[in-house]
Amino acid sequence: MTTGFRIFIAVLTLAWLPAAALGQSGNLTLLHVNDVYEIAAKKGQGGLAQLMTLLKAERARAEHHLTTLGGDLLSPSVLSGLTQGKQMIEIFNALSLDAAGLGNHEFDFGSEVLRRRAAESKFPWLASNTLDAEGRPLVGQAMLLRQMGPFKVGLFGLLTSETKHLSSPGAGVRFAPVVETAKATVAALREQQADLVIALTHLDLSADRALVRAVPGIDVILGGHDHDPIMIYERGTLIAKAGYDAHYLAVIDLAIEKKQGRRGPKTVIRPQWRLVSTHGVEPDAEVAAIVAGYEQLLATKLDVALGETETPLDSRRASVRGGESAIGNLIADALRAAIGADVALTNGGGIRGDRIYEAGATLSRKDVLGELPFGNVTLLLEVSGAELKAALENGVSRIEDTAGRFPQVSGLKFVFNPARPSGSRILEVVVAGRALDPGGRYRLATSDYIANGGDGYAVLKGARRLIDASAAKLMATMVMDHIAAQKSVAPKIEGRITKR
């Protein structure tokens, strides 16, 4: 091959049969979920026991079926913070998953933990462009070939290269170019007489659509990364995403026919699709028992009250990624106070509870870990004023995309204009009542993730570390201690971040 990297192919088949003969037809049902973090239903939606009920019903009516995951399984959640995703593998083994693509959150605990979880999986992980130092798939295999009735179905997996910024893959993990990998892998599957080619992707929608334009021969993209349920039929390729947390099961029925075309034999695929909600679905008893066991474990360890909030807190995605938030202020204040920093900065994307706490609500350890599930520690960096401003520029550089890099801060105020070009949006920064001094030195409390350049904060990678990871404490522990020490907290939006 000419791709500059080697593809090691492990081919798994239900039976070895010749390619479909002309005139043969059949039906294949694809059952897909992506970005699954919680194992139990929340507010009546989701729940993996409920998902199993839907899967059993769809499988019973299908002529042939494949169940797939579009990445993001091992993290983040409160429970995964305790188990490093072990519960997700046990449950998805019970769901009889056929294949999984990698997501960026598979690397939240590092690549060694991912390898352990992959070894525990009864289903194959497809890592076509996620490679080790030798150019081999980091886990699992590059592609999969399954015989489904008279047809051969090929599958492969693609992961966004942004994972190196979005998570913690570590040294020795390489992300080969998406389009180049796809072209080579599709060709390899077609050479093995695949009649249908499916890509499991963990890319944003624009990248999926670009993939359709750049790589002929992909019949279906079963995606992830976006948290919205999406079905787009573009240039003869169906792009399907099921939202997140199993709120929906994406069901795609493919009518497949092998026929003679003007240029020789061809496979004609006619898709129909729908999204089936888990809302109100009766949970499957076997999976529900597994879920209940893990929920009990979580309750035992985390149902400990810390204190009360006198003011409402909003950790919804749009709130913590789009402007100043009371809960962001609470977290940043706790980090700054815990290590005596001048300023603190944390990324909105690291705040994951996606909920509202009413004034007067009791905050528990479970609540805090639900908001900060990644297991990050707090470092103390020495940075210049110019570096601090550059970090803030990065933080607001993709606010229009609701990107997770948006900063929640303590000890400083800043004004920005989101209409200006990225990189020149910060208009004013004030620290401790004084204008930021570009040549001054400041002690910055932030997560190890941001300090290592995550979410685009590359400007901080070279900063002097006054407290490094070996001496650092968990962010969540600092926030818990802060709430417990005060007994009652009253964070509010107070003008730390201003749009102009």
pLDDT the model gives residue 7: 38
Q: Could you give the CA distance from residue 435 to residue 389 in angstroms, rounded to a whole number? A: 11
Q: CATH 3.90.780.10 in the chain, residues?
A: 304-499
Are 21 and 153 in contact by the 8 Å Cβ rule? The answer is no
Q: Per DSSP, which regions of 34-79 are E strands? A: 65-69
User: What angle, 0 to 180 degrees and rounded to 10, lies between the N-to-C axes of helices 111-120 and 86-94?
Assistant: 30
Rg for the chain, CA atoms, rounded: 24
Using DSSP's 3-state secondary structure scheme, residue 10 falls into: coil
Per the CB < 8 A criterion, the answer to whether 483 and 306 are in contact is yes
Overall fold of domain 304-499: 5'-nucleotidase;  domain 2 (3.90.780)
Contacts of range 368-371, beta carbons closer than 8 Å, 24 or more positions apart: 368/306, 368/476, 368/479, 368/480, 368/483, 369/78, 369/81, 369/302, 369/476, 370/77, 370/78, 371/315, 371/327, 371/331, 371/476, 371/479
Q: What pLDDT sits at residue 131?
A: 98
pLDDT at 165: 81
- Report residue 412: phi and psi, to 5°: -150, 160
Predicted TM-score of the model (pTM): 0.76
Q: Which string of DSSP letters, residue by residue, matches 166-200?
A: HS---TT-EE--HHHHHHHHHHHHHHTT-SEEEEE
Separation CA 402–CA 320 (nearest Å) = 9
Tell me if 78 sits within 8 A of 370, measured CB to CB: yes
Q: How many CA atoms lie within 13 A of 23 on its CB side?
A: 0
Determine the angle formed by the axes of helices 285-302 and 86-94, rounding to 10 degrees: 170
Does the domain spanning 25-294 belong to CATH 3.40.50.300? no
CA-angle at 136, arms to 131 and 142, nearest 5°: 85
Do 42 and 122 touch, CB atoms closer than 8 A?
no
* pLDDT less than 50: residues of the chain: 1-19
DSSP letters spanning 201-225: EEB-HHHHHHHHHH-TT--EEE--B
pLDDT digits (tens, 9 = 90+) for 2-20: 333 333 333 333 333 344 5
How far apart CA 129 and CA 435 sit, in angstroms, is 46
Q: What angle do CA 344, 109, 395 make, to 5 degrees?
A: 30
Q: How far apart (Å, rounded) are the C-alpha atoms in residues 345 and 329?
A: 10
Q: Which residues of 426-460 are buried (b: 16+ CB within 10 A; e: fewer)?
A: beebebeeeebeeeeebbbbbbbbbbbbbbbbebb
Positions of CATH 3.60.21.10 in the chain? 25-294
